[in-house]
Amino acid sequence: MALGNLFKLAKLTVEAYTDIERTKPLGGGIHGGNTLEVMYNPETLATRHEVAFHAKKGISTHGAQTRWSHSAAEELTVKLVFDGTNVGYFGVELVRQVPTVAVWIKAFLSLCYDVQSTSHETAYLRLRWNKGVLGTAGFECRLKSADIQYTAFERDGSPLRAEITATFIQALDPKKNAQKLRLSSPDLTHRLVVREGDTLPLLCQQIYGSAAHYLRVAQVNGLDNFRDLSVGQELFFPPFERPERGSP
């Protein structure tokens, strides 16, 4: 490792994939790959953690009991700055052609916002930066919104400086999501909000230890088609018994 790298903070990096498992890299970055390393690290980065509750009437004199319903998907908001004045580029970095602000913005939107022709949806992302902030595995997410503000221009009108305030919403691989939820009590009532990649059989597997109850859960929730789930939809899982050993 070069001596200079000892004092160089790793840059926030956006990785883009076409699948939720993050195994199929997407092209479109600055140099054609699936990554975008930001020009400057953010000065501020905010995370949002939200828990929803529902009231359950009890026999106590204290009235309704507040019960945990579900944990909403985490959100992360960050401001990215792109500067075309070459400030911050020194020495060998100036030997290469420095991307213009327009190129930076195009690459960001291509990786994070554009609907992909193969999957017909936006990309699955992983943000990597400081391990203490985003964790060792990074923050797996999708872009929720991006506000772009151009603050300086060349004489010909081309952008010289831009700021992107981007909000990312967590989107985990269903297997990782199941590990995070740790729902292992089939004798309790559960209410879950459907997340990206969830299926009814998979959710039943998480809660009951088997997918066998998925048709009964579909009936309880009034679903005409158990495959027709929408992100953000709340589902009710009654306390069914676990199937006998050997059941699917």
- Burial class (CB within 10 angstroms; exposed 0-12, middle 13-18, buried 19+) of 218: buried
Q: Please, are residues 233 and 223 in contact by the beta-carbon 8 Å criterion?
A: no
At 55 the pLDDT is 60
Show the tokens assigned to 43: 């000065």
At 248 the pLDDT is 46
Q: Which domains does the chain have, with CATH numbers?
A: 3-52+72-170 (no CATH), 174-237 (3.10.350.10)
State the pTM of this model: 0.68
Mean per-residue pLDDT of the chain: 80
Residue for token pair 């400086």: 161
For the chain, which ranges sit under pLDDT 50? Answer: 1-6, 58-61, 90-92, 94-95, 183-184, 244-248
Cα–Cα dist 13/169, whole Å? 16
At 135 the pLDDT is 86
